[in-house]
């Protein structure tokens, strides 16, 4: 992937190569609905941890109205996925959980599915993710009321044919975040899209945030990322975009890397430091265009984006740096 690169300023590199844990968040990332035909009963809902840290979902509830069940006591790693096998028996593992027929019902071609945090299941405020497909309406009004779905009139279209799924391509909360998938990727990250994960650390402008607005980074195109909540006050408050090729290691250091030990309380580095690009701060906001080359061999390639920004409001001896959340970009065609 090609970008305009620059060296990190002298202060920045040693700091990043040296925060509180981010809030855990799960999303529904793929759904296979197969109630009839040769694969009848092969119903799987995949969930993904997009928190930026490991997370144990014990006690979280899954709901296909009006059936509920609790997720098991397991540790889902950062960027990890878990398959929920509905209507099937089996042994729960770190990557697969089973909900036999007596515990959870069969999904239909017009249905909904939701995730709830452990307490007060029946309160809409406890819902954390939601999807409707085929015109399913149950609990849709509640999802709309808490901003997890745009309208009771909106629903994802199921693909026709056996063994297909709907797959999520970004972390938006609407039907456009889902595509019909002829070759399901259940059990692994979806092939294309842009997923926000983790959290920024607060500075003069609030929590620095980057967002790809659900765009799919495509071969031979420019991938637009917006920046918001940057420090709005100083001419030296310059953002630097980081492009990484892994979210596992940065040099010899494991990711995500808590930077609290070096004085950046609440800040986390989520990506390796492969390329950087100096960006423009327009009084607290800005845009970042990442160019994807014309190379068909990079379809499905993952890259990771994060922004670090100087914050002149941070007085000495504090380190005048703040970091954003991160984006996992997966190149489509």
pLDDT tens for each residue of 140-155: 999 999 999 999 999 9
Q: Lowest-pLDDT range, 60-74, 144-158, 183-197, 217-231? A: 183-197
Burial of 248 (0-12, 13-18, 19+ CB in 10 A): middle
Q: Is 264 in a helix, a strand, or coil?
A: coil
Residues 66 and 158 in one domain: yes
Domain-embedded: residue 65: yes
Place of tokens 């906001």: 285
- Let me know if residue 79 belongs to a domain: yes
In a shared domain, residues 175 and 31: yes
How far is 255 from 86, CA to CA, in rounded Å?
33
We report the CATH number of the domain holding residue 35 as: 2.60.40
Domain of residue 324, residue span: 12-22+198-330
- Nearest 10 degrees: CA dihedral of 248, 254, 256, 258? -170
* Residues 179 and 236 both lie in one domain: no
Question: Of the ranges 45-49, 103-107, 150-154, which one carries the lowest mean pLDDT score?
Answer: 103-107
Contact 167, 181 (CB under 8 A): yes
The residue to which tokens 């609030």 are assigned: 206
| Residue whose C-alpha is closest to residue 58's, from 68, 47, 45, 72 | 72
Residues 272 and 203 in one domain: yes
Where does residue 21 rank: exposed (0-12), middle (13-18), buried (19+ CB within 10 A)?
Answer: middle
Q: How many domains does the chain have?
A: 2
Q: Of 189, 218, 236, which marks where a domain is finished?
A: 189
Tell me, what DSSP letter sits at residue 118?
S
Residues 176 and 58 in one domain: yes
Find the farthest-apart pair of alpha carbons in the chain and give their distance in angstroms, rounded: 67
181 and 34 in a common domain: yes
Is pLDDT above 90 for 310?
yes
Q: In terms of domains, do 92 and 218 share one?
A: no
Same domain as 237, residue 164: no
* Whether residues 101 and 227 fall in one domain: no
The pLDDT value given to residue 275: 94
């Amino acid at each position: 992937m090609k970008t305009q690169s620059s060296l990190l300023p002298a202060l920045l590199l040693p700091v990043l190569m040296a925060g509180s844990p981010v809030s855990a968040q799960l999303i529904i990332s793929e759904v296979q609905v197969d109630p009839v035909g040769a694969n009848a009963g092969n119903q799987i809902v995949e969930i993904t941890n997009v928190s930026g840290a490991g997370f144990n979902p014990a006690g979280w509830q899954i709901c296909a109205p009006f059936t509920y069940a609790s997720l098991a006591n397991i540790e889902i790693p950062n960027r990890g996925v878990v398959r929920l096998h509905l209507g099937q028996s089996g042994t729960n593992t770190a990557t697969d959980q089973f909900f036999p027929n007596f515990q959870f019902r069969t999904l239909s071609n017009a249905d909904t599915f939701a995730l709830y945090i452990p307490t007060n299941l029946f309160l809409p405020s406890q819902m954390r993710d939601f999807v409707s497909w085929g015109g399913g309406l149950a609990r849709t009004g509640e999802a709309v009321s808490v901003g997890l779905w745009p309208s009771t009139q909106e629903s994802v279209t199921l693909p026709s044919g056996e063994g297909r799924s709907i797959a999520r391509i970004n972390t938006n909360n609407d039907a456009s975040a889902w595509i019909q998938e002829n070759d399901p990727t259940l059990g692994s990250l979806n092939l294309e899209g842009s997923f926000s994960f983790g959290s920024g650390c607060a500075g003069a402008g609030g929590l620095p945030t980057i967002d790809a607005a659900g765009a799919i980074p495509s071969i031979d195109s420019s991938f637009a990322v917006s920046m918001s909540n940057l420090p709005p006050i100083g001419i030296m408050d310059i953002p630097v975009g980081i492009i990484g090729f892994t979210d596992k290691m940065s040099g010899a250091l494991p990711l995500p890397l808590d930077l609290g030990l070096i004085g950046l309380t609440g800040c986390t580095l989520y990506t390796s430091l492969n390329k950087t690009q100096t960006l423009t701060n327009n009084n607290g906001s800005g845009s970042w265009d990442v160019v994807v080359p014309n190379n068909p061999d990079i379809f499905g390639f993952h890259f990771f984006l994060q922004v670090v920004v100087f914050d002149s409001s941070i007085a000495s001896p504090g380190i005048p740096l703040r970091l954003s959340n991160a984006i996992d970009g997966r190149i489509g065609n």
